[in-house]
Structure 1
Amino acid sequence: MKIKIVVFGLIIAFSSNDTLAQPVAFPGASGFGSQASGGRGGNVFHVTSLADSGTGTFREAVSEPNRTVVFDVAGVIRIINKIAAAPNLTISGQTAPGEGIVVYGNGISFKENTIVRYMRFRGSINMPRGACTVNIDSCKNVILDHVSIEWGRWDNLHIKNSSNVTLQYCLVGEPIDPQRFGALFEHPTNITVHHCLWIDNQSRNPKAKAGIEYINNVVYNWGVSGLVGGHSEADHFQDVINNYFIAGPNSNNNFIAMFTATDHVYHSGNMVDDNKDGMLNGRVAIDTDFVHVKATLVPKKQNLPANAVTVETAEAAYKTVLAQAGASLHRDAIDTRIINYLKSLGKEGKIFKTEVDAGGQGPIADGKTGTDSDGDGIPDKWETAHKGNPKDAKDAAAVNSAGYSRLEEYCNGLVL
């Protein structure tokens, strides 16, 4: 297929306002990573092929900085080698037709100033033994929104020495041999994790050697341990607020584990349901739960992003996570199966050794995209309805009074 890259050039305002706001990554972005601008103001790249590499592929799309990536195809992108993404990218998975996109078979690493939405990244038992599915190391200003991350061999997710990162409405689950761990956070600061589902991870939901706010998450069917502290000589600062810990078939009683005196913990409003009776009827987590694992308790929240998370009760967060976590615009068979484990409230779920044991990666339904005559990433029908010119690619860069380009307005509107 022919490659489709459109260069926007000069940004022009279609607002009468003289001063444009500096918007967050997209409406609904919150926490420390919400100021990422991604590929705003750059070029648009159409993914037109499901091949591993070559013209029009996802690998090519993320190989250069300052791009917004849109998808003209849906399906499974099977990769052999790890993908190293460039900085300053917006990856708009919500633009894919049908059931969306899966990047399967190996991992991906992200760099600074990156926005990723409505994507699925799945590793494989065939990738190296120590490989993670997603790496966010040594960078800043990254937000992952409604992303599914599964089948990592060491951890599903690794974040090291980074800052200003948000994970929101993500699904992190089903890691495979040899470790079957959820995520390792090694000394990042200013990390927000909210409304994420951590499911069927043997441990590390995540392991938080970090300055982190951990809000409104659901942890289900942990194995040997749920949320893990830093337990190291360095000081770590964890805010654990209104999360729901729900035991599953593989769970013991360690919904939190391995905190030590160097872990400075503020906790409030957390719930624990460990009776595996098929009903949501947990108890409130108390100081003793954290003192038992030797955490140092503090009286107030320590991590304070400029754009704060809207906090729900743990019970309300369970419902939100059930509906929203992962690439939930169109859930595929794998994520649907995993969500059904959560719905069982203790009755179902499993920690697998390989993705084949879990049923493997099946097909993803394709669909049709609208005609985009000027290749600017916006279908003609939408442009016409919103007083744009479907034969002028430059107008996709025009900025509205909220500070978003017309291309961003279209992409964001798909999931509002």
Structure 2
Amino acid sequence: MSWSTDECASFYDNENFTLQWCMMSESLRVSVHGKGTHGYGGIWGGKKASFHHNMLAHHDSRNARFCGSRYSALPNLEMVDFRNNVIYNWGGNSAYAAEGGSYNLTNNYYKAGPATGSGVNDRIISPSPDDGSNSQPAGIWGSFYVNGNHTTANSTTSGNNWNGVDPNPSSKSKTELRVNTEYNFGEMTTHSATNAYNRVLAYVGASLKRDAVDSRIVSEATNGTFTYTGSNGSTKGLIDTQSDVGGWPVYNSTTAPTDTDKDGMPDSWESANGLNSNNILDGIVYTLNPIYTNLEVYINGLVAAITANQNQTGTANYTDSVTASSEISINENETGFCFVEGTIDSNNAGFQGAGFANANNAVGAGIEWSVNTSSGNYTLRWRYSNGGTTSRGAKVIVDGVTVATAAFNATTNWTTWAENSSSLVTIELSAGTHNIRLEATTSSGLANIDKIEVEGINPTPVSCGSTSKNTASDSTLDVAVEEVKTEVKIYPVPFKNEFYIDLGSIEKVKQISVFNMLGQQIYVTDEITNQTVKVNINASSGTYAVKIITENGVVNKTIIKK
């Protein structure tokens, strides 16, 4: 957001609001505003409002101007969290006002620039009282927790942030404004000020493909410089009209990928993820993720590496059910497989593990698994083959209660295995251990089941005893395997032509594959003998997904190629 005649972006008198990872730059200082000289960043505030990991650059003032409770007259409800923002090259003032309310100013990075006045170059905030001209009485001040902020102009202020708090009037005692315990305003991820500075410069704004304007702003903030001056007297990076910086850039679009059903997801991506490129409705269902629709999964995947890197090395005061989401696969020779009312066979090629579960050809014949989950939504998928001519239906029974049905459509033959198609359900599970039963509803029995996949908030397989209930099979199928570890590291990021995967203590890795953002597999190896794997990618720059299949689950990572 740039080139405004007043504030670039103002958000106040709102409720439960967040502004994050946005760039506000180059408001117009001596422009056409009726009150004369402006050039301001924004008026910010709200009832539980969070402003984090944003950049304010080249604004004369209001970096930000906290609205306070002057319009609501409810200072006890005005709660504002301002953290991990980067403020660069302000002119006459950084943050100020906040007439009523409670504020966290935590771990922000104040980088004075060429236009920054010497008297305000280490200012964090200049609070002031309400003057009584709006909805609340005069004399109402805010309360402030100020800690962890970095000012480039004064290391002393970085060490003692209250040196950068300048009440207006100065006769106001800082002790009356100061709060020594941080307010708890909600869930967030916090970086140190210096770490936030680096991450904001790397990922703020439309950072997947930055235009020339945003790239220039980031470069100027990085180097502490400016490029343009105003045509009406503004100087040192503060401008007066968009023409001062060359005007609006030209944006060109490339050819959109083929999307036959016009649901927003490219055909190639749908095919790679087991969706139907002729079904416009499969974009709004939760086939691939229990929290996001399929369309959202596609859109989020375009910037998956960016969002992951934004929060990397930060400290979260919550558990994110989305980032905590993972997927496990349970084959018939692994922990979590209980039994099949039939046999374990291996006569049809293409299965994974030691074989596949072949239930009896009868209504009520079933297969059971055991998993432990947190409370939340979970997606169940089965890899199967159905060489018959008709679909084979099944009930999904959890802890003795039927919760859903699944359809196992015919595949080409008994050696063709399908997943992520009709054999999927999304269910809600409580915290604890659950028995999952798939039970045939036709006399033909179930399809041949190769494995179950459970996706949600960190599911884990649980031992339940194993082997077929029929005496025809005496294979012991409950083999203990190590739990999938989370310490997989991929480096360097970004990489040029090759990168390395450090598997840590994970053992029994079956396969490592790499996909582009269209879902196309561009690399795969089944020969994993070392704990560090070198991967060469001969492809264009962009974001790639890395899938690591172990004996006990799947680890998914993303990486950027420069």
Matches of 2:222 and 2:157, distance apart in 1: 15
Aligned to 2:203: 324
2:15 is the alignment partner of 1:183: no
Q: Per-residue CA shift, 1:87-124, capped at 9, x if unaligned?
A: xxxxxxxxxxxxxxxxxxxxxxxxxxxxxxxxxxxxxx
* Cα drift, residue 397 of structure 1: 1.3
Aligned to 1:402: 290
| Number of residue equivalences | 258
Contact in 1 for aligned 2:125/2:166 (Cα 8 Å): no
Q: Per-residue CA shift, 1:276-298, capped at 9, x if unaligned?
A: xxxx9983342232265545011
**One-letter amino acid matched to 1:404:** Y
Aligned to 2:407: none
Structure 2 counterpart of 1:236, from 74, 98, 101: 101
Q: Per-residue CA shift, 1:123-151, capped at 9, x if unaligned?
A: xxxxxxxxxxxxxxxxxxxxxxxxxx111
* Cα drift, residue 164 of structure 1: 1.1
* Cα drift, residue 202 of structure 1: 0.7
**One-letter amino acid matched to 2:2:** E
Structure 1 counterpart of 2:161, from 286, 291, 294: 286
Structure 2 counterpart of 1:304, from 174, 185, 193: 185
Query: For residues 374-393 of structure 1, what are the structure 2 equivalents within 5 Å?
Result: 374-393=261-280
Q: Show structure 1 runs of 5+ residues with no match.
A: 1-148
Aligned to 2:248: 361
Q: Per-residue CA shift, 1:223-267, capped at 9, x if unaligned?
A: 10111232x3xx221100001100001001323343036121101
2:2 is the alignment partner of 1:153: no
Query: For residues 154-173 of structure 1, what are the structure 2 equivalents within 5 Å?
Result: 154-173=6-25
**One-letter amino acid matched to 1:335:** D
SS of 1:214's equivalent in the other structure is strand
Structure 1 counterpart of 2:194, from 295, 315, 321: 315
Aligned to 1:221: 89
Contact in 2 for aligned 1:272/1:284 (Cα 8 Å): no
Query: For residues 8-23 of structure 1, what are the structure 2 equivalents within 5 Å?
Result: none
Aligned to 1:248: 113
The structure-2 alpha-carbon separation of the partners of 1:164 and 1:216, relative to structure 1 and needing over 3 Å to count, comes to same
Query: RMSD across aligned C-alpha pairs, in angstroms?
Result: 2.1
Query: For residues 102-141 of structure 1, what are the structure 2 equivalents within 5 Å?
Result: none
Structure 1 counterpart of 2:237, from 319, 332, 350: 350
Q: Which is further off, 364-373 or 198-207? A: 364-373
Aligned to 1:413: 301
Contact in 2 for aligned 1:291/1:297 (Cα 8 Å): no
* Cα drift, residue 346 of structure 1: 5.2
Structure 1 counterpart of 2:26, from 127, 149, 174: 174
The structure-2 alpha-carbon separation of the partners of 1:165 and 1:319, relative to structure 1 and needing over 3 Å to count, comes to same
Structure 2 counterpart of 1:193, from 25, 34, 51: 51
* Cα drift, residue 398 of structure 1: 1.4
Q: Per-residue CA shift, 1:34-64, capped at 9, x if unaligned?
A: xxxxxxxxxxxxxxxxxxxxxxxxxxxxxxx
Structure 2 counterpart of 1:271, from 150, 159, 173: 150
SS of 2:146's equivalent in the other structure is strand
Aligned to 1:33: none
Contact in 2 for aligned 1:273/1:281 (Cα 8 Å): no
Higher relative contact order (CA 8 A, sep 6+): 1
* Cα drift, residue 365 of structure 1: 2.9
Q: Which has the larger radius of gyration?
A: 2
Q: Per-residue CA shift, 1:365-409, capped at 9, x if unaligned?
A: 321211000000100010000000000011111114431110010
SS of 1:150's equivalent in the other structure is coil
Structure 2 counterpart of 1:370, from 237, 257, 269: 257
Matches of 2:102 and 2:145, distance apart in 1: 8
SS of 1:160's equivalent in the other structure is coil
The structure-2 alpha-carbon separation of the partners of 1:325 and 1:356, relative to structure 1 and needing over 3 Å to count, comes to same
Structure 2 counterpart of 1:205, from 44, 53, 63: 63
Matches of 1:356 and 1:303, distance apart in 2: 44
**One-letter amino acid matched to 1:167:** L
Contact in 2 for aligned 1:272/1:285 (Cα 8 Å): no
* Cα drift, residue 345 of structure 1: 2.5
TM-score by length of 2: 0.44
**One-letter amino acid matched to 1:248:** G
Q: Show structure 2 runs of 5+ residues with no match.
A: 69-78, 130-140, 228-235, 305-562
Matches of 2:166 and 2:237, distance apart in 1: 30
Matches of 2:84 and 2:300, distance apart in 1: 23
**One-letter amino acid matched to 1:355:** Q
**One-letter amino acid matched to 1:406:** N
Matches of 1:213 and 1:346, distance apart in 2: 29
Contact in 2 for aligned 1:221/1:251 (Cα 8 Å): yes
**One-letter amino acid matched to 2:66:** A
Matches of 1:288 and 1:160, distance apart in 2: 27
Contact in 2 for aligned 1:169/1:196 (Cα 8 Å): yes
Matches of 1:379 and 1:206, distance apart in 2: 41
SS of 1:202's equivalent in the other structure is coil
SS of 2:270's equivalent in the other structure is helix
Contact in 2 for aligned 1:225/1:256 (Cα 8 Å): no
* Cα drift, residue 208 of structure 1: 1.0
**One-letter amino acid matched to 2:116:** S
Contact in 1 for aligned 2:86/2:109 (Cα 8 Å): yes
Matches of 1:285 and 1:347, distance apart in 2: 29
Q: Which is further off, 386-395 or 347-356? A: 347-356
Query: For residues 45-56 of structure 1, what are the structure 2 equivalents within 5 Å?
Result: none
TM-score by length of 1: 0.59
**One-letter amino acid matched to 2:95:** L
Contact in 2 for aligned 1:219/1:244 (Cα 8 Å): yes
